[in-house]
Amino acid sequence: CKSPGMSKEQMMEIRKQNCMTMKITYYKKPVFIHQGYMQWLWDVDGKRYLDLFAGVATVSVGHCHPKVTAATQRQLKKLWHTTNIYIHPELHEYCDKLASYLPDPLKVIYLTNSGSEANELAMLMARLHTGNFDIITFRGSYHGGSQQTMGLTAKSSCKFPIATSSGCIHTMCPDVFRGPWGGSYCRDSPVQTIRECSCAQANKHYIEQLEETFATSAPSQIAAFFGEPIQGMGGAVQYPKNYLKEAYKLVRQTGGICIADEVQTGFGRTGSHFWGFQGHDVIPDMVTMAKGIGNGFPVGAVVTTPEIAVSFVKASHFNTFGGNPLACAVASSVLDTIREDSTQQNSLHVGTYLMTQMAKLRDKYEVIGDVRGKGLQIGMEMVKDKGSREPLPPEAMSEILEDVKDTGVLIGKGGVHGQTFRIQPPMCITREDVDFFLAVFNKAISGYTDRK
Ligand code: PMP
């Protein structure tokens, strides 16, 4: 379906002059998106794309999913907005429903409008509850773009030269592919395709790094440890087995609390579990979420324990839009849809199939260094060659990305050096979609290899 709207030239001009100064797009020839349905997007010329990036892991059940659209339309006719000084059923029904998806004692919910807002609130709560100030995150992580959360974020391309939140300390990311430990040990792991590094030696070294990080803070001053169960923007980085379990134990011993940023990994994306932290066999003290919670509608949340929540009532916390009826109706219908459409199970099956097939391409091409992830949170780390593991340069990454896009598939990019392709699609994709992507990716890589 063709767009009757503005010309591409007009849009590009407005983008330069008036539109959030967003000059950057992923592509040399930008994509002008006009319409979406489930795993598909159409541009203004009517060209169809298989969307394997879902607006950065945001569209969870599918673009314009009919059930979510219907629920939104019902609520639009009833009540758009009222603040939470009044009691409205949508908020309470939703909190009750969301709480049922979380293990005890994670039962107290605060709704926000974005992931940055959720993480900023979590920082505040952790500091108030513990009376401590320092917060530890991983190098390479992204936790938001507000001034406070920019302090948590440890990715130079997302930071500005200003004073962000002080007291944010960045520990070494336990990255078994690019980090100093893991690597070839982990290649010997019996699990080759969906590789969860079980190398105890590598884990020990990374845990020692965390302990050294504690020593950079004043004694017992740790308020929180923030970590994504699988890094998103960092490039689908997975930690060695037991890392989070041991890290949580150590953080708690110092008096800090543990926070799982589930903005990308939550709502069934990792397939085996509803929440990414469940794959690490830990229960955080606080969970932050956004993106998939609203299938593209701006919603975020912090979930914590009653004990921590008590520390937060010293002053009044107010959020005009957080938990408004429309957002709650959308988010509630997303939860129902995940269950009714078995999207978590689909993530597991289709994601496992994709990774297994991708591992064959990894073995075929020198430039695919690593394939990793869980469910539909997948990364392919690109290298100059497997021996050096030097990151594939940005121009080469762009060339491949452009080719994949021109053949009709949208994928993402991430990693400290921008060296990892990311696949985080709407969770409704099928095996046929995967086969199509594999053919497209194979052609793009073989084309690049031939031209080199
Ligand atoms: N945490 C993670 C893990 C994210 O990936 C993001 C967004 N990319 C955020 C937090 C911030 O979310 P938002 O853009 O909704 O503020």
Q: What is the pLDDT of residue 197?
A: 62
The answer to whether residue 437 is domain-embedded is yes
Per-residue pLDDT tens digits for 44-61: 999 999 999 999 999 999
**Domain check: are 125 and 253 in the same one?**
yes
**Domain check: are 176 and 273 in the same one?**
yes
**Domain check: are 321 and 363 in the same one?**
no
Tokens 């990774």 belong to 355
Mutational pocket test of ligand 1: of 121, 264, 275, the residue with most ligand atoms within 8 Å of the beta carbon: 264
The residue whose C-alpha atom lies closest to atom 10 belonging to ligand 1 is 143
**Domain check: are 17 and 123 in the same one?**
no
pLDDT over threshold 90, residue 308: yes
The answer to whether residue 59 is domain-embedded is no
Pairing outcome for strands 420-423 and 377-382: antiparallel
- The predicted model scores a pTM of 0.96
Which residues' Cβ are closer than 6 Å to ligand 1? 56, 114-116, 119, 142-144, 228, 232-233, 261, 263-264, 290
pLDDT over threshold 90, residue 244: yes
Q: What is the pLDDT of residue 4?
A: 62
Pairing outcome for strands 48-51 and 409-410: parallel
* Residue at a domain's end among 340, 359, 388: 340
Centroid of ligand 1 to alpha carbon of 133 (angstroms): 22
Q: Where are the alpha helices (DSSP H) in 60-114?
A: 66-78, 89-99
- Find all residues with CB under 8 Å of 233, minimum gap 6, and list them: 140, 141, 142, 155, 158, 414
**Domain check: are 266 and 133 in the same one?**
yes
**Domain check: are 95 and 176 in the same one?**
yes
Q: What is the pLDDT of residue 25?
A: 75
Burial pattern 23-33, b for ≥16 Cβ within 10 A else e, equals eeeeeeeebbb
CATH of the domain at 309: 3.40.640.10
Q: What is the pLDDT of residue 2?
A: 56
**Domain check: are 351 and 324 in the same one?**
no
The answer to whether residue 61 is domain-embedded is no
pLDDT band with cut points at 50, 70 and 90 for residue 24 = low
CA distance 421 to 441: 11
Number of other residues whose CB lies within 10 A of the CB of residue 47: 13
pLDDT band with cut points at 50, 70 and 90 for residue 185 = very low
Q: Which of 192-196, 265-269, 294-298, 413-417 is predicted with the least confidence, judged by mean pLDDT?
A: 192-196
Pairing outcome for strands 40-43 and 48-51: antiparallel
pLDDT over threshold 80, residue 184: no
Number of other residues whose CB lies within 10 A of the CB of residue 283: 18
How many independent structural domains does the chain possess?
A: 2
Closest CA to 285 of 306, 310, 312, 300: 306
Alpha carbons within 13 angstroms on the beta-carbon side of residue 286 total: 30
pLDDT over threshold 50, residue 150: yes
Centroid of ligand 1 to alpha carbon of 360 (angstroms): 32
* Residue at a domain's end among 305, 340, 375: 340
**Domain check: are 214 and 318 in the same one?**
yes
Q: ipTM for the complex? A: 0.99
Q: Which numbered atom of ligand 1 lies nearest the CA of 114?
A: 15
CATH of the domain at 374: 3.90.1150.10
**Domain check: are 435 and 312 in the same one?**
no
**Domain check: are 231 and 310 in the same one?**
yes
Angle at alpha carbon of residue 88, lines to 85 and 92, rounded to 5° = 105
Q: Do the beta carbons of residue 203 and residue 249 sit within 8 Å?
A: no
The answer to whether residue 62 is domain-embedded is no
Centroid of ligand 1 to alpha carbon of 233 (angstroms): 9
Per-residue pLDDT tens digits for 246-275: 999 999 999 999 999 999 999 999 999 999
Average of per-residue pLDDT values in the chain: 93
**Domain check: are 207 and 97 in the same one?**
yes
Closest CA to 152 of 220, 228, 205, 216: 228
Per-residue pLDDT tens digits for 71-125: 999 999 999 999 888 999 999 999 999 999 999 999 999 999 999 999 999 999 9
3-state secondary structure of 89: helix
* Residue at a domain's end among 340, 361, 379: 340
**Domain check: are 216 and 329 in the same one?**
yes
pLDDT band with cut points at 50, 70 and 90 for residue 70 = very high
Number of other residues whose CB lies within 10 A of the CB of residue 435: 13
Once rounded to an integer, what is the mean pLDDT over residues 326-353?
Answer: 97
DSSP state of 85: T
Q: Do the beta carbons of residue 229 and residue 192 sit within 8 Å?
A: no
